[in-house]
Amino acid sequence: MEKYVQLRPKLRRLFRRTAAGERGVTMIEFALVLPFLVVLFIGLVEFAEAFTVMRKLSMAAHTVSDLVAQEPSVDTAELNDVSLVADEILKPYGTAPLTIVIVSVVSDVDNAATVAWSHPAGAYVPGTAYALPEAALTDPNTSLIVAEATYDFTPTVSRFLGSFQMNERGFFRPRFTQTVLKLD
């Protein structure tokens, strides 16, 4: 029993030294891992923000083309109003880097797609060929409303990386007429 009593203070000292050593090791490990965790967190925040903007951009392109496709004819004022819908969809993100181009694409007997009109005027020259991602989007003698949305995305936290461009297109067939006419 006396041997046990003598070992007790030695065990306490050994335990204290080990505990103090573990604290130091834990602090060093934390200091080594912390920069990696901070970079990982910032990367996740930036990715989530870019993914959200991309989803909103896709929704804006599809909504704009859908709204135009629901009208038998449109004028410049209506197209300007429809473009403002895209601004509202993108909120709370800035709308200054957003560009919306609305194009009416018609196909001929051979299913060759050409531009009938575009908004803003001059974005595409009427009568020029328009490249669709799939030939199956149009049938001969039909038309299609295309909304092209472009957004120059600049990450919030890591602005030193620079911006990059996001592009999205929405396609809808006219609902009530063969072709949506532009009146002015």
Tens-place pLDDT, residues 10-62: 767 766 665 556 666 777 888 889 999 998 998 888 889 899 999 999 999 99
Quick one: pLDDT at residue 123? 82
Whether pTM exceeds 0.85: no
Residue with tokens 């602005």: 159
Phi, psi of 76, deg, nearest 5: -60, -40
Quick one: pLDDT at residue 60? 95
CA angle in degrees (0–180, nearest 5) for 45-49-54: 150
Residue 169: count other Cβ atoms within 10 Å of its Cβ: 17
Here the tokens at position 81 are: 């109003």
Tens-place pLDDT, residues 142-182: 889 999 999 998 887 766 777 789 999 999 999 888 888 88
Quick one: pLDDT at residue 70? 93
